[in-house]
Structure 1
Amino acid sequence: MSVGTTQTRQGLGGRLAALARIVELGPGKVEPKLLTDSGQLLLRAGDRLKLSSDHTVVALAGGTGSGKSTLFNSISGLELSPTGVRRPTTARTHACVWGLEGAGPLLDWLQIQWRHRFARASALDKGESQLHGLILLDLPDHDSIRALTDTEADRLIQVADLVVWVLDPQKYADASTHRRYVTDLAGHEAVTIFVLNQADRLEAEELAECVADLDGLLRREGVENPIIVATSAITGRGVDSLKAVLAETVSKRRAAVQRLEADLDRLTLRLTKVMPDGGAPGAASSVDDARRIGLTDALCDAVGVPAVGEAMENVYGVRSIEWIGWPYARWVAKLRPDPLNSLRLSDLRDEIRGLAGDSVSAQPAEVDNAVQALSDGLTSGMHEAWQNGIRDAARSRSAQLPQVLSEELSEVAPRLDRVPVWWRLLLVWQYLLILLFLAGVAWVGTAVLYGVVGVGKLPSGLAVFGETASLPWVALMMLSVLGLGLLTAVASRNFVVLGAGNERDRLEREMRRRVAGVAEGMVIEPVERELARYNEFYAAMRSMRG
């Protein structure tokens, strides 16, 4: 095998590998008939390339009365091996082989019966060394009324390396032949020959006119450069010209590869027609950061993450009043309705968990809209089949998505019944201030009763509490205690507000991180797998085109 032929086979191998990938990725995207034809071509190519590359399978095909079998005899010279000397008929395919070595497995693959195989015993001694490696098939008539032979002709026309269409002057424009076979040969010019047989029945001018008419008909049907040879199997006219064409093909040892390449080209056109490149294949290989962030934002809104954060901040502030607020203000507030009841947050932690869960389950439409927006942004310009595939991938776990989001948010719902240590310390401090204030009230009362009203006389050890001179200082102390308590409450409130804001930010970041993780696993990863299939499919399409 020449270097050029080896390189050609390597190129063909790459195209076939690309076709195999298309067949693997195509279900659900490419119509089943086209995938079936692709699979059959892969099988046929794999079988043919494993068999003898030194032999070229040439099939003589034609209708009843075209003189196909007579032409077969004329080319072979009827000098056949002693074990199989029989005149070919149109009932079964007959084969004549120039060079038997290595031809057996190929003939077995072609399903040629042993009794219909013939060999040129000494082709090199007959001056026909140029035909060494030729396997010439005489096919059954393709328009036979016998379904068995019609099927056999169709099968071998599909697998032959080169097809010689034998036409006669009366039926060369037969509609059935052109409709069933010739129109499928566009792009197969290198592996197709048209023989206008029975030329002895025509005058020279009539023959030239028929050849020109046939050439024009073939070109109109898509055969760009048809090879037409006029022959007469009876007189031998043109047979040598046909042999020369066959010899040239056989000597190049490329017909098998050219036939497969032509079949691939035709299949590529069919695939390209139904699956044109959408947009810019390869550009959307993954979900970009902007779309990831957009999906996370939409899902956070759908499950109410901002509402959960705001509720947590508000509840945190309201609960802090019980611990760090000015006690006197709290006691006055008890005369009014409980603010916790007005906020309907009596069981705070459960309420927050319920809020998250209700937001997810109550808004599945918003979750679906978020997923839909992602897929729509990614599939712009794609073929409809791939658009549907990516949308289905994005929604593949949409039924579980709200529940999973709810569970994730429930895990990070804050413990709002938790009381920070510094709140407890501040409560102790405030009550100490209250005790000091009460002590001042007691001092003032004692001074008024014993020093002003004169209800009696205190023991010598307690006489200082009855002196009226101490009243201004005690009053000043009481006012200081009140001011210190109020100042402590205001300062603590500011710290609570700042801490609540930080806690809200932390909570929303954690919730957002969890939502992003759910979106990655349940939406983005399936979408990216489908995007990878999309890009692999079109990369294979480009490789198949060569």
Structure 2
Amino acid sequence: MSAVSTAQAQFGLGSRLAALSRIVELGPGRVEPALLTEAAQLLLRAGDRLKLSPEHTVVALAGGTGSGKSSLFNAVSGLELSPIGVRRPTTARTHACVWGLDGAAPLLDWLQIQWRHRFARASALDRGEGRLHGLILLDLPDHDSIRALTDPEAHRLIQVADLVVWVLDPQKYADASVHRRYVAELTGHDDVTVFVLNQADRLTPEEQAECVADLEDLLRREGVAHPRVVATSATTGKGIDGLKAVLADSVAARRAAYQRLEADLDRLMARLAKEMPEVLHVEPTVDGARRAGLTDALCDAVGVSALGEAMENVYGVRSVDWVGWPYARWAARLRPDPLSSLRLGGVKDDIRTLVGSSVSAQPAEVDNAVQALGDGLSAGMPEVWQNGVREAARSRSPELSGALSKELAEVAPPLDRVPGWWWLLKIWQYLLVVMFVAGLAWAGSILAYGVFKAGRPPAEILGDVAVLPWVGLMMVSVLGLGLLSAVASRNFVVLGAGKERDRLERDMRRRVGAVAQDMVVTPVERELNRYNEFFGAMAAARR
């Protein structure tokens, strides 16, 4: 394999592993913990392996007791390196034979191969063995021995080896423990798995062909699409060169490590995809219509309209003291005032209490508004992500009512504020009162001095009977002008009250919208982005 193609393979695998890392980061609460743990372990294993020697290929010989695995190890290495038991033919510890030691030590340390079980072949000096330069051949403990049941070493090395060679014998090649525990777990690992039918010297050529065909058929049923089966005999040396050729091809390609990690990643992604089927991309932001709908629902829940109406009524009631016709006000004081409780004294406190009670009194409506948003946005998502969006929408529900109450309590207007035109109109009304009283006094003076001749008037005009009709006309005009001013001012008050209500409701709506954005919309959008990033990473982690 060329340096360029090796770099391309590493880059492609690296980008997929980066995507898997993002899946692990985004998956908690959405993906089965066991799958996330497996993914994290794969990332750790891949990170370690890719940092170690790319010039070496780790090949593990795995097999059951009596399969001749250690004999095959010695036959491939050409030395008696792994002990072969007589009474109990089992391998207790992993042995390693290395063709080319430069750079191999850190890799062997990572594999946890003990120093006394490491052996080297100076392949450059061995005729015909140079093609195996870069091979690290491991003889694993027997997977079905008594020791192996309590020692995870064989299982651990099977999981991390670049290439696994399963050594089977003619009597137990269909052993269920091998197929159930290992072969079925390596589905999709065709490129990094080799099966050796050892002890072929015990079979006739016809029996060997039949066993190989039967083994291949069995492996295909187990999910190995293109099984590679090599028949060997460690005793006679038959098939050893063929096995070496397979190992040499893998070593020369310098790609087995990447293929193994890619196969592990493919299998993991297939399981993830089965649990979490991909769906369409969703809009990561809450649209304006839904924002407005949420704000409307929350405004209804906290009684914004009712509060605005109350403010409008208070505004109108207070204006009577300033812009109403004084004579009408004085007359009203002679009878009980049913609106006295709305006068300035405690109105502001009453309004603040109204705001607080409106929020706390409608928690169910607040919850319904939030739930409606979550349900609408999560439609069509996988159930676990639907629940995630709903949980995000409700994540700050315990604080929401209190936050709305606090915000709206601050909106209560300064009810002691008096518009400037109220002052001017009040001065005008009292000026008319003074003019009416002056006219009344003038008319009384004319009646006293001009009609009843009570004496000499201080001034001629105060006793001139001819002026009396004009004085009466002036008084009627003053009364009419006062009444017209009162009516006009009331119309202006109504318009002002409406504007005050609109301003108040806009301010309250703005504050409700800000609270909804911070406590509902932002967590929901964060979850929607998490959803898109997760499935984007799922797509990137696939081939």
TM-score (norm 2): 0.94
Other-structure match for 1:419 = 418
Residue in 1 aligned with 2:384? 385
Q: Which amino acid aligns with 2:111?
A: L
Task: Please name the residue that 2:503 is paired with.
Answer: 506
How many Å separate the matches in 2 of 1:343 and 1:422?
22
- Specify the alignment match of 2:60 in structure 1: 59
- Counterpart residue type for residue 396 of structure 2: R
Tell me the CA shift for residue 149 of structure 1: 6.8
Q: What amino acid does structure 1 have at the position aligned with 2:252?
A: S
- Is 1:539 aligned to 2:536, yes or no? yes
User: Are 2:96 and 2:113, in contact at CA under 8 Å, matched by a contact in 1?
Assistant: yes
Name the residue aligned to 1:518: 515
Structure 2 unmatched runs, 5+ = none
Number of aligned residues:
538
Aligned pairs for 1:135-534 (under 5 A) are: 135-147=136-148, 150-278=151-279, 280-281=280-281, 283-341=282-340, 347-452=346-451, 454-459=452-457, 461-534=458-531
Counterpart CA distance in 1 for 2:344 and 2:379 is: 47
The match for 1:2 is: 3
1:181 Cα deviation (Å)?
0.4
C-alpha displacement of 1:31: 1.7
Larger displacement relative to structure 2 (466-475 or 173-182): 466-475
**Matched position secondary structure for 1:229:** strand
User: CA offsets per residue over residues 210-258 of structure 1, 9 Å max, x none?
Assistant: 2222111111111111111112222222221111111111110000000
What is the one-letter code of the residue matched to 1:110?
L
Q: CA deviation at 1:531?
A: 2.4
Q: CA deviation at 1:22?
A: 1.4
Give 3-state SS (helix, strand or coil) of 1:406's partner.
Answer: helix
Deviation, structure 1 residue 449: 3.5
Q: Give the distance between the partners of 2:343 and 2:370, measured in 1 at CA.
A: 33
Alpha-carbon contact 1:141-1:150 (below 8 Å) kept:
no
Cα distance, 1:86 vs. partner?
6.0
| Greater Cα offset, 56-65 or 348-357 | 348-357
Describe the superposition over 1:319-366 as per-residue Cα deviations: whole angstroms up to 9, x where unpaired: 111111122222333344314237698622112111111111111111
Unaligned segments of structure 1, at least 5 residues = none
- Aligned residues of 2:83 and 2:91 also touching (Cα < 8 A): no
| Structure 2 CA distance for aligned equivalents of residues 337 and 422 of structure 1 | 29
Identical pairs, percent: 73
Letter aligned with residue 327 of structure 1? P
- Residue aligning to 2:71: 70
SS at 1:415 equivalent: coil
RMSD over aligned Cα atoms: 2.0
Q: Is the 8 A contact 2:70 2:83 kept in 1?
A: no
Contact 1:139 1:153 in 2 (8 A): yes
Q: Is the CA contact (8 Å cut-off) linking 2:71 and 2:84 kept in structure 1?
A: no
- Distance, in Å, in 2 between the alignment partners of 1:377 and 1:485 is 59
Q: Would the alpha carbon gap of residues 122 and 348 (structure 1) be closer, same or farther in structure 2, given more than 3 Å must change?
A: closer
Q: Does 2:99 match 1:98? A: yes
In 2, Cα distance between the equivalents of 1:85 and 1:307?
Answer: 89
Q: Deviations over 1:8-48 (max 9, x none)?
A: 00111111111111112222222221111111111111111
Is 1:303–1:363's contact at 8 Å kept on the other side of the alignment?
yes
1:131 is aligned to 2:132: yes
Q: Give the C-alpha shift of residue 303 in structure 1.
A: 1.2
- Paired with 2:156 and 2:304, the residues of 1 have a C-alpha distance of 66
Please state how far the C-alpha of 1:171 moved relative to its aligned partner: 1.0
